[in-house]
Amino acid sequence: MFFLSENRLTVVRDTEFLVSDMYNDLTPYEAGKYQMVSDSKKNNWLLGRFAAKGAIIKYVKNAGLVNLQYSDIEIRSGNNKPPTFLIKKNDIDYESIIKNARLSLSHSKGVAVAQVISGEFGVRPGVDVEKIRTFSDEIIKGFCTDEEYLKLKNLSSVDLNHEATLYWCLKESYLKALGVGLCLNPKYIGLPEDVSLLGDIYFTVKGTPVATNMYWTVLEDGYIIASIII
């Protein structure tokens, strides 16, 4: 279908930018939100905003506009709802360029990923990033379908950590694209039998097949990033 490459995503790391620089690019509204974030999550939160703004700048650039700065963009997010954004600059009509744009963002342990696509025809993105980790059997059973659980049970521990993290990433991305987050149990999202096949593929939602576009990759230092477009 489209966007079948890493170019569809904007990935940033905490080693690339100074916290003070990222903070200075926040709008007053965002700075107010930042103060309400717990101290242990502040840096990841900032990184998420930074990735999102980078993805928006990339999206606007594709429309031929190059003068947008990070501080011109305001990211708004609600509990369990897809984030939205505003452009706080009115030298040209940005509104007409971004009116259909859809944003998804995620951050985990010093890495953030964001994606902006045109939401024309109802298309929606969902992204997730996770550090590869160990999962308890109960958690795997909790978020996998019976078939997925059986498949994971037969893997060695190294492969299990990778696959379980990937399954989680794909499911959370899908739920974000749906716009419901974890309000729907991830076990109701069925992954394709072969998750190594990228591109147009079918997921299931409560057993019903749904056309999906899937991309994922593993970063060198053990993070998986996934992107779903529905």
Partner 1 sequence: MKNYQQIKDEVIKIISDTLNISHMEISEKSSISDLSEDSIHLFGLLIAFEKTYGIETTYEDIVRLHSVGDIVEYVQRVKFTA
Summarize as ranges the residues that interact with partner 1 (CB under 8 A). 38, 40-41, 79-80, 108-109, 130, 133, 135-136, 138-139, 142-143, 168, 172, 181-183, 185-186
CA atoms within 13 A on the CB side of 53: 23
Nearer to partner 1, 27 or 108 (CB): 108
Give the nearer residue to partner 1 in terms of CB position, either 184 or 210: 184
Write out the two tokens for 166: 């990937």
Nearer to partner 1, 85 or 143 (CB): 143
- 3-state DSSP call for residue 92? coil
Do residues 153 and 164 make contact, with C-beta atoms less than 8 angstroms apart?
no
Interhelix angle 28-36/42-62, rounded to 10 degrees, is: 150
Decide: 214 and 201 in contact? Cβ < 8 Å. yes
In whole angstroms, the minimum distance from the beta carbon of 166 to partner 1 comes to 13
Q: For helices 146-153 and 157-178, what crossing angle results, to 10°? A: 160
State in angstroms the smallest separation of the CB of 195 from partner 1: 18
Nearer to partner 1, 58 or 131 (CB): 131
CB of 108 to partner 1, least distance (A): 6
Question: Closest distance between partner 1 and the C-beta of residue 34, in Å?
Answer: 14
Nearest-approach distance from CB 45 to partner 1, in angstroms: 12
Q: Where are the beta strands (DSSP E) in 14-136?
A: 73-76, 84-87, 101-108, 111-118, 125-131
